[in-house]
Structure 1
Amino acid sequence: MSPLLQTRGLSRSFGGLRAVDSVDFSLNEGEIRAIIGPNGAGKTTFVSLVCGRIAPSAGTILFEGVDVTRLPAHQRVKRGIAYTFQITSIFANLSVFDNVALAAQRRLIDHAERGGSRFSPADLRRGVASALERVGLADRAEQAAGKLAYGHQRLLEVAMGLALEPRLLILDEPTQGLSDAEIDGFIALVRDIARTATVLLIEHNMPVVMALADRITVMNNGAVLAEGTPAEIRADSAVQHAYLGTPDDD
């Protein structure tokens, strides 16, 4: 079975800095994969290359076996790649419902343009309600998004990603700002998401990583340092030296 996502020699330079350095990466469908690493390791730059927010200096990105290296971000969304940002990117003046509705409407329009049935307002409402229910924000649907606590804004962004019904959902620091109770709920949420989508997350909360990830990719200085199961990564001396034994801040 071919990987859902694959990169070959993927690189990105900013002036003299090589933020991502010839990364070969493979992600299978249905997997929960975590990317970890110290400050400046290139994690966010790597996933930004995957989702099309920035263009690579070299290398190739394949999604479902198709070369998407030069596709713009919105075309990758249509193909099933959704990305939540490290810094929230909600529409603060719109309601929680309307934020998710924008994402759900995009998916429904794309489906109709590909020859699917036209959607009704009821279809849109159902899609929004389902996404909000999954992240625990159904009771805040009418609240202005900018009035949410920061942790709830993070969950709203996840709901916006879910409303796209992606094949691949990329989460960048999703537990940042969440309380311990909310983190427990988030772990359950990701396991639920993984029943229908592949999940790629950047995360510094190591208990979350160890609880969720099928495999972990460790990046350092823009390159892949190690890759393996949580037990293998925990026991890797190079990883311990570069990351696990030092304060993590990104």
Structure 2
Amino acid sequence: MTLLQARGLTRHFGGLRAVDGVDFDLTQGEIHALIGPNGAGKTTFVSLLCGRVAAQAGSIAFAGQDITRLPAQARVRLGIAYTFQITSIYARLSVYDNVALAVQRRGLRDLRAGVMAALDRVGLGAQADQVAGTLSYGHQRLLEIAMGLGLAPRLLILDEPTQGLAAGEIEGFKTLVRGLVPDVTVLLIEHNMDVVMDLADRITVLNFGRVLATGTPAQIRADRAVQAAYLGG
């Protein structure tokens, strides 16, 4: 089942064609990676999907509903959560309170149960009372994912989640993401190609705001256009 479908999605900034007529499909329950050179339009594209940036042309459907003109908060309520490339936690609040801010949007009766479920899922249950800003960088990234999970998303968009993580933390991250599917569909923007090739069911390559290729990791690895533009083959 197709969870998200974009057709002809376009966003220009002056003369820069950041996203230029992109068609894109996400299958429910998959891990889908979005890769491409710096400046390819990846972050602008996912900002269009989650409503942080308005599309100038094209359409977006989520779970069969046209969301092209919906504001970001309405898309969150429908089940789209986006974690940022740069950690965006509330450093002075506790770990628990960071996640509670997300969970309370769902109107759960048992707020604590919802918060602890999200923290336990990323392995931070024991740090619930710790001030978020005192966590290690790797744990702050995990907290951000817990905040996304606190929204009970159908689609979780992760923007450069392994940036700055140590090798051991990356292995833990991969285990975490694998455990999210098929309940949660994951769209992953990632420069670490080992992570991409190990995790992704499918990969879409953007270049100059357009789709260069979409396929399995093996297909993308063997694609000569992708090799020339991005993989250095």
Q: TM-score, normalised by structure 2?
A: 0.97
Partner of 1:216: 203
For 1:146 and 1:49, locate their aligned partners in 2 and report how far apart those are by CA, in whole Å.
30
Partner of 1:21: 20
Displacement, 1:54?
0.6
Partner of 1:146: 133
User: Which of 219, 228, 239 does residue 215 from structure 2 map onto?
Assistant: 228
% identity of equivalent residues: 72
Displacement, 1:133?
1.1
For 2:188 and 2:34, locate their aligned partners in 1 and report how far apart those are by CA, in whole Å.
6
Counterpart check, 1:32 vs 2:31: yes
For 2:66 and 2:23, locate their aligned partners in 1 and report how far apart those are by CA, in whole Å.
14
User: Which of 164, 175, 192 does residue 179 from structure 2 map onto?
Assistant: 192
For 1:177 and 1:128, locate their aligned partners in 2 and report how far apart those are by CA, in whole Å.
26
Unpaired runs of at least 5, structure 2: none
Partner of 1:52: 51
Give the conservation status (yes or no) of the 8 Å contact 2:83–2:157.
Answer: yes
Q: Let me know the Cα RMSD of the aligned residues.
A: 1.0
Displacement, 1:43?
0.4
Structure 1 segment 60-209 matched on structure 2, within 5 A: 60-107=59-106, 109=107, 119-120=108-109, 123-209=110-196
What is the letter of the counterpart of residue 117 of structure 2? S
Give the conservation status (yes or no) of the 8 Å contact 1:217–1:226.
Answer: yes
Partner of 1:10: 9
The SS at the match of 1:54 is coil
Give the conservation status (yes or no) of the 8 Å contact 1:90–1:157.
Answer: yes
Displacement, 1:128?
1.0
Q: Deviations over 1:105-150 (max 9, x none)?
A: 111x2xxxxxxxxx43xx2111111111111111211111112222
Give the conservation status (yes or no) of the 8 Å contact 1:151–1:176.
Answer: no
Displacement, 1:195?
2.8
For 1:79 and 1:62, locate their aligned partners in 2 and report how far apart those are by CA, in whole Å.
11
Displacement, 1:21?
0.4
Between Structure 1 and Structure 2, how many residues are aligned?
233
Moved over 3 A (4+): none
For 2:45 and 2:211, locate their aligned partners in 1 and report how far apart those are by CA, in whole Å.
11
Displacement, 1:65?
1.3
For 1:69 and 1:223, locate their aligned partners in 2 and report how far apart those are by CA, in whole Å.
19
What is the letter of the counterpart of residue 87 of structure 1? I
Displacement, 1:230?
0.2
Give the conservation status (yes or no) of the 8 Å contact 1:30–1:197.
Answer: yes
